[in-house]
Structure 1
Amino acid sequence: MEDMTDVDVTKEFVEANNSFLPSIYKEIVKEEKGNVLVSPLSAETILALTHSGCRGETAEELRIALHLPDDPAKIQSAVKAVLSDLKTNEGCKLFIANKMYIKKDFSINDEFQKTANTVYFGDSENIDFTMNERAAETINSWVEKVTENKIKNLIQSQVLNNLTRVILVNALYFKGAWYQKFSLTGTKKIKFYKSKNEVVKVDAMTSEPSKNYTICICKELNAKLLELPMHGDASMVIVLPDKRHGLADLESKIDKVFFPYRFYSTEVKVLLPKFKIEHQIDFSAVLQNLGVRRIFSEDDADLSGIAGEKGDLVVNAVLQKTFIDVSEEGVEAASATNVAISVFYSSAKKRREKFIADHPFIFYLKVKNVIIFAGRVIEPCY
């Protein structure tokens, strides 16, 4: 049993992760017009590890963006507790891995190495970045392996060169089955109102009215939220605007979309499109828009907690690649985020409801209240 202090600290990290999500979602959709998929947990975890090696204002900028507490011991305690809890979750397959690829003959600080091993359950491997194609192949092969071959080619060889010192990688893989599976024979073609001028035909899963689903009718968001339970302490929430073309209005309230609303158990008839999304995000731009700038500046970066002195190391890339597959059986999802470091010289009505997702919507996947994936579906592709 955890004492209250551990519970509070863990709750703080979960809230930090879930608060980080709307911040990054807003930045991502500024540039993206179509489907979006992001793993806040993958990014939060590897960036929290990076933060543990930052010092001074470099660390403070990153801490604020990640919504982390102002206490390194608290952060480490929370991360370890959350990752341990998620790793031992039964009923669904969830794999989280962190790895450091360190330049051959480059010495990492013992304290940072220890933190990576004991807090983030991370491993490390020395590698020759000057052999950039072979190095990229080594990193990508590891990511492919731990994400069941769902994330391929995370890092391009041209990102690596003789200045690269450390590559930090987080890989996350999830596979879970619906508590109540959708019948394969119930899947049918429906019209999906992609935009005011475009309607497409998509495959949609259907279910008869069931009390296994819970719903929230949220007037504040002008949306319905449907929670689809999965085996293990996991579920997917679909946030559907009331209006066919209400996604932009919903996204303008994104800070409130991922709140833990109160859901009610009632009979719900569901019609939900199958969808697959594969997405890549340049987190460097996202973080800089959130005020994280020093870590990318050779004049200001202080990553001396990882190795060397202030100014020796700088982050030159933060990339995330994600994949999700939502079908009759359940959900399969994967994510990988890498940080490349270089040296320079509600409310609800209690009655039978219909939930017809025939227009763009937001979704998120959570395990033990930690949001591990989120995104939007503009056009269901399968």
Structure 2
Amino acid sequence: MAQAEFALKLLRDSGPSGSFAILSPFSISVALAMVYAGAGGKTKTELGDVLAKGAKHEEIVNYFSALMMGLSKEGVGYKLLSANRLYVQEHLDILQSFKYVIKEKFDGQLQEVDFAKSTETAKASFLITYLPLIINEWVEAKTNAKIRNLISSDMLTVATTLALVNAIYFKGDWATKFDVHRTTKKQFHVAENQNREVKRAFFLFTIDLFHPFLF
């Protein structure tokens, strides 16, 4: 139930009113679950309430781990890949227990970098040591070149100590594809007293019905 509420609130609050947005509550939830795994105190409590209020630490971590592993595979008619990587400031003391959770539970990778050096390099040139380029190349590779330029230079500063990057790739076919000959423009009720003309498809199905009390 907490996941459904989180997804609905995320969809409602994403982007300015009247705009269109595509996002993945699943991908964002997995990223938050990794943050939760390494958090403590009030931050951990609040993240836990968002992800699964009332659940224990192990239950939350194991649930999202199983969810990610279960979905991140090729199924019948679809392919979904989820990849995680943490870029951590060099010499930052990271608990071994957190490293274990990221690697074993979320199939994530941890890479030490120098954010200060990367941001200074960004001002001078576009060398391969420029961290945003490195991150963007990784994301592009994990999403079959569908997501590019995810990170810009202004997202990272000398004060940055950790960047958690989650990439998700999905490719699949509709179970029932839209027929162009059955698609017409009709009014769609966006909200009270607000309509919008959109393309809508009409389908007619014949299904079998069984009711034991009819015999």
Q: Which residue of 2 aligns with 1:22?
A: 8
Q: Which residue of 2 aligns with 1:177?
A: 173
Q: Describe the shift of the 1:206–1:194 C-alpha distance in structure 2 as closer, same or farther (beyond 3 A).
A: closer
User: Which protein is richer in helix relative to its size?
Assistant: 2
Deviation at 1:68, TM superposition (A): 4.3
Q: Which residue of 2 aligns with 1:125?
A: 111
Deviation at 1:207, TM superposition (A): 5.5
Q: How far, CA to CA, are the matches of 2:189 and 2:145 in structure 1?
A: 30
Q: Secondary structure at the match of 1:37?
A: coil
Q: Which residue of 1 aligns with 2:146?
A: 150
Deviation at 1:189, TM superposition (A): 5.6
* Post-superposition CA distance 1:33-79 (Å, at most 9, x none): 22233311111111111011111112111211223443111112212
Q: Describe the shift of the 1:156–1:178 C-alpha distance in structure 2 as closer, same or farther (beyond 3 A).
A: same
Q: Which has the higher contact order (CA 8 A, sep 6+)?
A: 1
Query: Where has structure 1 moved over 3 Å in runs of 4 or more?
Result: 191-200, 204-208
Please report the TM-score for the alignment, with normalisation by the length of structure 1. Answer: 0.46
Q: Describe the shift of the 1:68–1:148 C-alpha distance in structure 2 as closer, same or farther (beyond 3 A).
A: farther
Q: Which residue of 1 aligns with 2:37?
A: 52
Deviation at 1:89, TM superposition (A): 5.0
Q: Secondary structure at the match of 2:83?
A: strand
Q: Which residue of 1 aligns with 2:204?
A: 209
Q: Describe the shift of the 1:205–1:49 C-alpha distance in structure 2 as closer, same or farther (beyond 3 A).
A: same
Q: Which residue of 2 aligns with 1:35?
A: 20
Q: How far, CA to CA, are the matches of 2:196 and 2:10 in structure 1?
A: 29
Q: Describe the shift of the 1:88–1:147 C-alpha distance in structure 2 as closer, same or farther (beyond 3 A).
A: closer
Please report the TM-score for the alignment, with normalisation by the length of structure 2. Answer: 0.77
Q: Secondary structure at the match of 1:152?
A: coil
Q: Secondary structure at the match of 2:14?
A: helix
Q: Which residue of 1 aligns with 2:50?
A: 65
Match of residue 66, structure 2, among 75, 81, 86: 81
Aligned-CA RMSD value: 2.7
Q: Describe the shift of the 1:65–1:76 C-alpha distance in structure 2 as closer, same or farther (beyond 3 A).
A: closer
Q: Which residue of 2 aligns with 1:106?
A: 92
Q: Secondary structure at the match of 2:147?
A: coil
Q: Secondary structure at the match of 1:23?
A: helix
- 8 A contact 2:182–2:203 mirrored in 1: no
Q: Describe the shift of the 1:27–1:189 C-alpha distance in structure 2 as closer, same or farther (beyond 3 A).
A: closer
- 8 A contact 2:184–2:201 mirrored in 1: no
Structure 1 segment 245-324 matched on structure 2, within 5 A: none
Q: Secondary structure at the match of 1:96?
A: strand
5+ residue gaps, structure 2: 123-129, 209-215
Deviation at 1:151, TM superposition (A): 2.1
Deviation at 1:114, TM superposition (A): 0.6
Deviation at 1:135, TM superposition (A): 0.7
Q: Secondary structure at the match of 1:108?
A: coil
- 8 A contact 2:102–2:109 mirrored in 1: yes
Match of residue 158, structure 2, among 162, 168, 172: 162
The residue type equivalent to 1:75 in the other structure is I
Q: How far, CA to CA, are the matches of 1:112 and 1:21 in structure 2?
A: 26
Q: How far, CA to CA, are the matches of 2:62 and 2:185 in structure 1?
A: 48
- 8 A contact 1:68–1:75 mirrored in 2: no
User: Which protein is richer in strand relative to its size?
Assistant: 1
The residue type equivalent to 1:113 in the other structure is K
Q: How far, CA to CA, are the matches of 1:57 and 1:180 in structure 2?
A: 46
